Amino acid sequence: MTSTTTFDDTARAYVAAFNAQDDTERRKAVATVFAPDATYTDPLADIAGHDAIAAFIAGAQQQFAGWTFRLAGPVDGHHDQARFTWVLGPDGEEPVVGFDVIRLDDEGRITQVLGFLDKVPAPAA
């Protein structure tokens, strides 16, 4: 990674993109944080590109309306990759916990996300 962006900065910008409520703001955040051909893979998605990532984020916000993504713990990185844990829930609660590994290009933009869901709410009966 040759830019002055730190792994912490990138992880914070990533979470901010997931919290961007307005479509225009969300698309701008995605374009800033992710490389144009970035891929995003987790148990719920296997997508590529800014449009697909922005649509995925919009879908998560719709499904979990009013909830906020937050970093949970330190960001650990080396070379062009980093890992971090995040939580999603209303203030003070963490019903969803995930762990992401990201790869960055030379400009500090995310080229790949490999996501894991460590904790998810049980489906309503």
pLDDT digits (tens, 9 = 90+) for 88-123: 999 888 999 999 999 999 999 999 999 999 999 877
**Residue 3 scores a pLDDT above 70:** no
The residues, ordered by sequence, that sit 6+ positions from 74 with a Cβ below 8 Å of its Cβ are: 84
Instruction: Kindly report the pTM of this predicted structure.
Output: 0.92
Identify the H or E element spanning 15: helix 7-19
Give the model confidence (pLDDT) of 27-78 as tens digits: 999 999 999 999 999 999 999 999 999 999 999 999 999 999 999 999 999 9
